[in-house]
Structure 1
Amino acid sequence: MKSNRLAGHTLRNEGRVYDLRGQRACCGPAFCSCGAQSDDVMHTVSARQRWHREHKAAVKAASASR
């Protein structure tokens, strides 16, 4: 399987969302360590992970087109 790692881009809490008390929550945006955030509130961990894969692919594509 091809690695999709990209320096400076990690998905916070592996896509899990926590409330202010530290309890797991079901809904929330995805956050990348580079500061990017998903526009939509997502309802599953897999949706946030999918967003992060697409985010990293877009960053790679943008850097390749320079």
Structure 2
Amino acid sequence: DVSDVKFVINFDYPNNSEDYIHRIGRTGRSNKAGTAYTFFTPQNGAKARDLVSVLTEANQVVNPKL
């Protein structure tokens, strides 16, 4: 495990929301702030509903275009 990760960048969106949560969970551990950036393209559209659910559950801002 890598400690003190401040940023996670998902260039390729994962196959499912569980993998997405696992990836972004690498940042912001131990009550520290962290930021995750994720490239989400029209080709990932079938996974949009899942992503919206994850973001909503985490009280994150959801882009209306998603």
TM-score interval w.r.t. the shorter chain?
Answer: under 0.3
Structure label with greater radius of gyration: 1
TM (normalized to structure 1)?
0.27
Higher relative contact order (CA 8 A, sep 6+): 2
- The structure whose residues are more often strand, as a share, is 2
TM (normalized to structure 2)?
0.27
